[in-house]
Structure 1
Amino acid sequence: MTSQQLKRTGFALTIWAIAWAAMTLLEHKLDLANLAMLLVLASALSSLWLAGWASMLVSSGAVLAFNWFFVPPKFTFTVDIYQNALLLLALLLVNWIIAGLVIRQRRLTEAARNLADQEVRLRQWGDTLRDASDPAAHAAALRIALQEATGTPVAVSVLRSIDEQTEKTAALLLGETTDEQRSGLSLCVREGNAMGPGSGRYEQLADVYLPLRGRQVTLGAALITGLGGHANGLQLRPHLQALCDQMGGALQRSLITAQEQQAREQAQLQAVRNALLAAISHDYRTPLATIMGAASSILEQGDRMEADQRRRLAAGIVEESERLARLTDNTLQLARLDAPAVTLRCDWESTEELVGAVLRRIRRRPDGSRLQVWVEPNIPLLWCDALLVSQLLDNLLDNGLKYSPADTLVELHAKYDSEFLVLTVSDRGPGIATSWQEKVFEVFQRGEIAPSTSNSHVDRGAGVGLAVCRAIARAHHGELQLRARGEGGCLFECRLPIAGGGPPLPTAQVPEVQT
């Protein structure tokens, strides 16, 4: 007997002791009927703490004791008056009725408590699975929940892939099982139906098998050992199946999400392949033809050419090679930035150093002298991937130099504006038609030149550079936009957040740069 049961029995015996003491003291002051009321009251109160069978047994003994001590003739079980016999019979029946009602109420209370526990268990289990990125990792939690609900050993089998449904063994098995039980789990998964006593299938089994059901698919099974002989086995089955179905639904959602992610990655990979093929088929041919023509001319006729002619052909080879290299870098970088969970190699960088490195590369070009740069002093260090930001500036400046007249300037400004580094590249070229000012940032979209200009003969690029620039800006949680410019040409504005969640912002103490 547990301490709780001992305490409840102690309360009941105390009530009976008080009742008998009261009846003994009031024997000569109250008639027999009123003394019987004390007996009924004691029986009703004690039944609240005693078990049902114990309450009925104690009540029967109390009636016999009442007859022995209080009903004339005393100290005998003989009853002389019929009224006394009726009183004793009524006492016995009332005590039994009270005990029966208490037993019924206890059962109803226990059933309500079990329903509340089941509801709480289902809600908590649903919350656990809703926030789970990998529901299969919670198979142990499902096993514990089933064991708590039944009090019997449980084993859980979980598939990690929908394709494994036809396999003979599950990918994950928790709990001790025999060969026969493992075969039962595998059969339950394949058929997708409960098995065992009360299920209508394989009733001769001693254990119960419950499927982890999703929508039109079964992704595992649970083995409840000995549930067929459990006192509340039939009442528990719907609750246990609900727990298993929640797990099955979560597993299916997780697997579908993984398949969708894999499909997106495959689609992105295919898009990269298509982009590379498009770049090769449309944009690699012209520079390759130029390189091959110039190289073959130097090889076959180099001895008969003048030095200036050979120099022009060599410069053409270098220029077209740089164009190919830039197109390749942009295409590969765009593919990398479009990949999920891309990781940038960020560090604290000085804006002056970033701009200075780009300026040195541009100055080596024949038209590099047209570039004018202004960097605002005391700009805080930028948390960024230096190679990507340099590539962004290279592409914007290359576009400006390519599309603007040879006698005009291309300007690069860098300034600090409310926790953002603002980089603007402006030119006085033909501009971009209004209808193309957003499409121009899409891959392989070559914007239409504004109709009011006369530079429509300019060779347009591959349509990758600006797409890469916007992808780089957004990878740094910034934005790149094309702004209207009243005096003609284009003005690209890139806003990059200075801080990336790192240490306190350092400040680069640099002088104003203007070239």
Structure 2
Amino acid sequence: MQGIKASWPAIAIWLLAWGLLFELDGTFNLANLALLLVLASAMAGVFLSTLLSLLGSAVSVLLFNWFFIEPRYTLNVHLHQDALLLISMLGVSTVVSYLMSRLRLAADRETQHAQAAEQLRQLSESLREAADASVCAQLLQAFTQQKTKHPTSVLLAEPQRVIGNASSQDQQGLWACVQQCAALGPGSGRYENQTTLFLPIRGHARAIGALAVHRHTSLALGAAHQQLLQQACDLLGLEIERAHNLQLTQQAKQDAQSQSLRNTLLTSISHDYRTPLANLMGAASAIHDQCSRLSTDKVEALASTVISEAQHLHRMTTNTLQLARLDAAPLQIKKDWESLQEILGSVLAKARQRFPTRQILVDLPGDLPLIHCDAILLVQLFDNLLENAVKYSPDHAPIQIKVQAHPTTLDIRVIDGGPGIADAWKTKVFQAFERVHDDIAQADASHDQQLRRGMGVGLAVCQAIAKVHGAKIWVEDHPPQGAALCLSMPVVPQPSLHLQET
């Protein structure tokens, strides 16, 4: 029935052609009628197999001889030119029918190849979107079952797992297929008496698994069908290898970044800790060795140096450890409802104690909402911002702190009167171990310059603290001179309090 449905266009062409032949009989000569029959043979060959096309051409020549060649209704031919016409018709119809049928077969194969390529493309996209190797194996299993209409199972070698129902004998066959990295079973040239077809899941250099098609016959699948299944298996193998290589690449990149950070940290520590440690050792040694010969003022100055350098080391160590802690994911911080006025008050009290000669101006509106934060971390953030402003601004320039309240944010700006920050550095300053005025930072440890020394982690810690609070931090210019370090804290609606009646 299926063959008749596929051949009905050819039958219609033949019927139309013979109708025209009988209609035009006597109007056109035999040569013209013969050309009409050759045309019908060519057109019918598009819809028929090669054998049916050749058979149809031969039958059409015989019928043409029967109905149109004198003497009619016999197979005898009296004129030589009529015999030549029939022979030419037979030869041309045969050749044309054969070529047209072969062309149809080539077109059918091309269509099948295009469909197979599209199916493999869709499978490849599905494999790329899959979460892990097991999901990829299940996709291959579903694809194979759809194509073969037989149950299948998939073996993945590393780590070892089997997807699908495979008997112990089939599992042995799967492992043999992996070890030999070649197909086994019907149509493979190996173990042809088996009913199960085993196909290797191949990577670039080895098999990383195998596919089993559980059939009930030793007859081989079609070559094109088996080739499609092998290509699907190879897609899975290459995708698993690609995902594994990508994981190794990411791990190597993380290891390289960790090693680079470790080397940078060690270099910074060895360089930036040397000066304050030397000052500590010098002052402590002077007090220890010459205490009896030193005046009280000199001892107090040396003790002040010890305290100052110890505090400097403490700040560098605290910032470095905090940066390492905040960069470790995932990090859970303890948030509570805090007052920004109290946090800034604590920071200002310490700042005025450390920098008694510096003028710090605060513009703080009243009735600010509470913020949901870790108060200890915010104190460290504002302390770092104030210290940065003091470092890079003249002693006579005041430091300003301005707070602006918005419906969803609180914007805090710490403004200095220093040389400002170039546009190229406005993002880079928040990277660890980066300092804009590195030449100044490397100055000697004189009293005027010691505050400018550091490891370049203060603003990096500020950015890390802002990130864990869902806040944003950035740099703005502050004309006519100076820079503003800006922090935008989100305002979270406070939960309503429900009083319980006693």
TM-score bracket, shorter-length normalisation? 0.5 to 0.7
Shift of 1:413: 1.0
The question of whether the paired residues in 1 share the 8 Å contact of 2:47 and 2:101 is answered with no
Shift of 1:109: 0.9
Percentage of pairs with the same residue = 31
**Counterpart amino acid of residue 468 in structure 1:** V
Out of 150, 154, 157, which is 1:157 matched to? 154
Shift of 1:146: 4.5
- With 250-259 and 150-159 compared, the bigger mean Cα shift is at 150-159
C-alpha distance in 1 between matches for 2:132 and 2:330: 18
Q: How does 1:83-94 map to 2 (within 5 A)?
A: 83-94=81-92
Does 1:389 pair with 2:387? no
C-alpha distance in 2 between matches for 1:366 and 1:30: 118
> Residue 17 of structure 1 corresponds to which residue in structure 2?
15
The question of whether the paired residues in 2 share the 8 Å contact of 1:473 and 1:479 is answered with yes
> Residue 319 of structure 1 corresponds to which residue in structure 2?
none
> Residue 28 of structure 1 corresponds to which residue in structure 2?
26
Aligned residues: 437
- Taking a change above 3 Å as real, the CA distance of residues 78 and 378 of structure 1, as seen in their structure-2 partners, is farther
C-alpha distance in 2 between matches for 1:376 and 1:345: 26
- Taking a change above 3 Å as real, the CA distance of residues 493 and 64 of structure 1, as seen in their structure-2 partners, is same
**Counterpart amino acid of residue 334 in structure 1:** L
> Residue 363 of structure 2 corresponds to which residue in structure 1?
375
**Counterpart amino acid of residue 424 in structure 1:** V
Shift of 1:77: 3.9
Q: How does 1:201-240 map to 2 (within 5 A)?
A: 202=191, 205-224=194-213, 229-230=219-220, 232-233=222-223, 235=224, 239-240=228-229
Out of 198, 222, 237, which is 1:248 matched to? 237
> Residue 181 of structure 1 corresponds to which residue in structure 2?
170
- Taking a change above 3 Å as real, the CA distance of residues 25 and 153 of structure 1, as seen in their structure-2 partners, is same
For structure 2, the 5+ residue unaligned runs are 278-310, 419-427, 494-502
- Taking a change above 3 Å as real, the CA distance of residues 381 and 341 of structure 1, as seen in their structure-2 partners, is farther
Out of 369, 392, 401, which is 1:413 matched to? 401
The question of whether the paired residues in 2 share the 8 Å contact of 1:265 and 1:339 is answered with no
- Write out per-residue CA displacement over residues 334-371 of structure 1, whole angstroms, 9 at most, x where no aligned residue: 33422356678899x99xx3253241476489938958
> Residue 472 of structure 1 corresponds to which residue in structure 2?
465
**Counterpart amino acid of residue 43 in structure 1:** S
Out of 433, 451, 456, which is 1:442 matched to? 433
C-alpha distance in 1 between matches for 2:169 and 2:386: 73
TM-score, structure 2 as length reference: 0.63
- Alignment partner of 2:205: what SS? coil
- Taking a change above 3 Å as real, the CA distance of residues 126 and 357 of structure 1, as seen in their structure-2 partners, is same
C-alpha distance in 2 between matches for 1:17 and 1:378: 99
**Counterpart amino acid of residue 235 in structure 2:** Q
Out of 65, 68, 71, which is 2:69 matched to? 71
Q: How does 1:62-211 map to 2 (within 5 A)?
A: 62-81=60-79, 83-130=81-128, 134=132, 136-146=134-144, 151=148, 153=150, 155=152, 157=154, 159=156, 164-165=157-158, 170-173=160-163, 175-196=164-185, 202=191, 205-211=194-200
The question of whether the paired residues in 2 share the 8 Å contact of 1:482 and 1:493 is answered with yes
- Alignment partner of 1:29: what SS? coil
- With 42-51 and 77-86 compared, the bigger mean Cα shift is at 77-86
The question of whether the paired residues in 1 share the 8 Å contact of 2:429 and 2:459 is answered with no
The question of whether the paired residues in 2 share the 8 Å contact of 1:268 and 1:339 is answered with no
TM-score, structure 1 as length reference: 0.62
> Residue 424 of structure 1 corresponds to which residue in structure 2?
414
- Alignment partner of 2:208: what SS? strand
Out of 48, 52, 72, which is 2:50 matched to? 52
Shift of 1:171: 2.5
The question of whether the paired residues in 1 share the 8 Å contact of 2:196 and 2:212 is answered with yes
- Taking a change above 3 Å as real, the CA distance of residues 389 and 494 of structure 1, as seen in their structure-2 partners, is farther
Shift of 1:105: 0.6
- Alignment partner of 1:209: what SS? strand
- Taking a change above 3 Å as real, the CA distance of residues 329 and 448 of structure 1, as seen in their structure-2 partners, is closer
The question of whether the paired residues in 1 share the 8 Å contact of 2:45 and 2:97 is answered with yes
C-alpha distance in 2 between matches for 1:261 and 1:189: 28
The question of whether the paired residues in 2 share the 8 Å contact of 1:362 and 1:368 is answered with no
- Taking a change above 3 Å as real, the CA distance of residues 342 and 119 of structure 1, as seen in their structure-2 partners, is farther
Out of 323, 339, 345, which is 1:359 matched to? 345
C-alpha distance in 2 between matches for 1:138 and 1:43: 50
Shift of 1:6: 5.1
C-alpha distance in 1 between matches for 2:212 and 2:447: 80
C-alpha distance in 2 between matches for 1:471 and 1:65: 93
> Residue 317 of structure 1 corresponds to which residue in structure 2?
none
Out of 28, 36, 39, which is 2:37 matched to? 39
- Alignment partner of 1:367: what SS? helix
> Residue 495 of structure 1 corresponds to which residue in structure 2?
486
- Write out per-residue CA displacement over residues 47-67 of structure 1, whole angstroms, 9 at most, x where no aligned residue: 223333333333333333333
> Residue 447 of structure 2 corresponds to which residue in structure 1?
454
**Counterpart amino acid of residue 68 in structure 2:** F
Shift of 1:374: 1.5
C-alpha distance in 1 between matches for 2:72 and 2:60: 15
- Alignment partner of 1:223: what SS? strand
C-alpha distance in 2 between matches for 1:324 and 1:452: 13
- Taking a change above 3 Å as real, the CA distance of residues 482 and 153 of structure 1, as seen in their structure-2 partners, is same
Shift of 1:25: 2.6
- Taking a change above 3 Å as real, the CA distance of residues 421 and 65 of structure 1, as seen in their structure-2 partners, is same
